[in-house]
Amino acid sequence: MSKTTTGTSAEDTPPAGPPGEPAPAATPSGEPAPAKTPPGEAAPTAETPADDDLGAAGSQLSTAPTETSVPGSFGGNRAPGLAGRLAWTGREVFGWVRWFWRQLTSMRVALLLLFLLSLGAIPGSLIPQTGTDAMKVDAFRQAHTTLAPLYDKLGLFHVYSSPWFSAIYILLFVSLIGCIVPRTWQFTGQLRSRPPGAPKRLTRLPAYAVWRTDAAPEEVREAALQALKQRRFRAHTAGDAVAAEKGYLREAGNLLFHIALIVMLIAFGWGQLYKTEGDKLIVEGDGFSNTLTQYDDFKSGNLFDDDDLVPFSFDLKKFTATYERNGPNKGTPRTFEAALDYSEGADGEVRHRTVKVNEPLEIGDAKVYLVSHGYAPTVTVRDGKGNVVLRQAVPMLPLDANETSQGAIKVFDGYRDAQGKKEQLGFSAFFVPTFAGAGKGTMFSQFPALDFPVLALGGYHGDLGVDAGTPQNVYQLDTKNPNLKPFKDAKGDILKSRLLPGETMTLPNGAGSITFEKDIQEWAGFQIVQQPATGWALTGALAAIAGLAGSLFIQRRRVWVRAVRGADGVTVVEVAGLGRSESAKLPEEIGALAALVHDKAPTHTDADADRPDADTPVPAEGAETQ
């Protein structure tokens, strides 16, 4: 009859003490009274059995550093005299620095800094940033005269370059490095060392099994060693027991997670320092070369240099957009793509590529994204003598999803009025690709496609103000400029007109004309992004996920199989296990291992098997019968 038992708790039966010592007293409920903790020793925890005999067997299941509480005086008693004062001060300073370093490199502080870093990034997404959109920051300052000075003092308009955000970032970086380095050396030492020998009393471990066998102890240990190696344990024979350990990937995953965080932080910082981001609006038929002067808007990191731009160029050959005509998604784009001819370097081969939304053109470290679209009606402006002073497709900026657009037509040079005087012309323009129809009271487009295009113009003449050196928006006309006067119609009102393709608005007093040509171009807006270390950031993120999964789902545990010959000459086999944390899988694994060893060393049978109560297994001390 087998007398194999597997234990999951050491609380069901009072453990027997060493020979000559009384057993622990029991409480009125029948449970053993808790052992008193000797002065100066730590109380037992849930993860460490209350047994001094565990020794090295219960240690180093984790590479986590020991955290210290708030210290007192590190200098101890101060010796008299100047030398004693200096020695005491040095010990105090060194002690406090060491304590602060231990706190900074603790897991608790690292998680706190990581939380503060994510919390500090929130204002950067809610409040306009000077590095992203300086015009929005100026508008915010004008609209919030009370909050803006406070935000300036706190650095909320440039969060990611503010001193407080940089301090959190650097402290987190130092904390992670200070946490990883000692853990790595400790874990390397654990990998090079053998699993510790078995403790004196295996009955105190949370998972335990025992039986008696006729096999020799050496045979049992050899069978246990083979069974453990088959189950991919690191195992060796230590004295009268086989010691084995498994689950090193838990600590490896923990270290991998921390190293991946450092890689992500480095990649993030490197990308922010060397990144570039610019926007460019290109009309069909026009091109772009990746130089600073070609951008409509450009932002870069603090360490960016002009030579870091990837050399390439491209031409927008054709933009194609189609839209849903019916149903609840009417007006939604079905096709949205730009056909480009591009080349790398100064003399690179010309290649063709179609760029779509979320399908950018990648050239080296640079990516060209298609981000916007609009129309560019072609206009022809003539002076009073009929000479053409301007003929070009003028981009209009959309105001809504149906491509209702607004823009400005400006003539800076070459125009003369009827008297031959040099002037500048300006036209405020309003374009709709699908007009609602005359008499319907609206100039808003009804559909984004070119079904019924109409161009509304208002004419002005005088000085546009560009010669003064003041920057101005090329897509807006400053009608408040005192040097810019409107053309007047016969009624004395501002000259305005709605034009269909091919129609002309004549300026009064022989000042010339402007014609809305039938050739309506389309334009596409591109965002050119160059951010190094994105591959490292992605690798770090994937490694962090893998490391976190390993540290959460892999259990590190130790197993011992002891085989000794009893006083009656029969071998007693004990199998026990200890995990870093409580888990239901550990008893199951101990039971499976005990079954494998039991097949090679079956239970001893003797005359006691004929007793009436022999069918009831006798549990070992500190074990739970299953």
Instruction: Convert the pLDDT of each residue in 305-332 to its tens digit.
Output: 888 899 999 999 999 999 999 888 888 8
Q: Contact 573/220 with Cβ under 8 angstroms?
A: yes
Predicted confidence (pLDDT) per residue in 511-540, tens digit: 999 999 999 999 999 999 998 888 899 999
Q: Are the C-beta atoms of 458 and 408 separated by less than 8 Å?
A: no
Query: Which tokens in the block code for residue 448?
Result: 């984004």
Can you tell me which residue has the tokens 């709605």? 498
Sort strands 207-213 and 276-283 into parallel, antiparallel or unpaired. unpaired
Positive or negative, the CA dihedral 389, 393, 397, 400 is positive
Per-residue model confidence (pLDDT) at position 193: 84
Do strands 287-289 and 312-323 pair parallel, antiparallel, or not at all (unpaired)? antiparallel
Specify the amino acid at residue 563. A
Contacts of 166 (CB under 8 A, 6+ apart): none
**245 touches 234 (CB < 8 A):** yes
More confident residue, 448 or 304: 448
- More reliable by pLDDT, 369 or 98: 369
Rounded to the nearest integer, the mean pLDDT of the chain is 82
Please, which pLDDT band fits residue 612 given cuts at 50, 70 and 90? very low
The rounded Cα 162 to chain-centroid distance in angstroms is 20
Residue-level pLDDT at 34: 41
Residue 562, pLDDT > 60, answer: yes
Q: Which of 403, 422, 492, 511 is nearest to 464 (CA)?
A: 422
112-155 pLDDT, tens digit per residue, is: 998 998 898 898 888 888 876 777 888 888 888 889 999 999 98
- pLDDT confidence of residue 283: 95
The model's pLDDT over 465-479, given as tens digits with 9 standing for 90+, comes to 877 666 677 888 888
- The pLDDT of residue 64: 63
Residue 68 has pLDDT above 70, yes or no: no
Whole-structure pTM value: 0.64
Q: What DSSP assignment string belongs to 388-433?
A: EEEEEEPP-EE-STT--EEEEEEE-SS-B-TTS-B-EEEEEEEEES
Q: Which of 14-23, 247-256, 276-285 has the lowest mean pLDDT?
A: 14-23
Residue 272 confidence (pLDDT) above 90: no
pLDDT surpassing 60 at residue 35? no
CA distance 237 to 243: 6
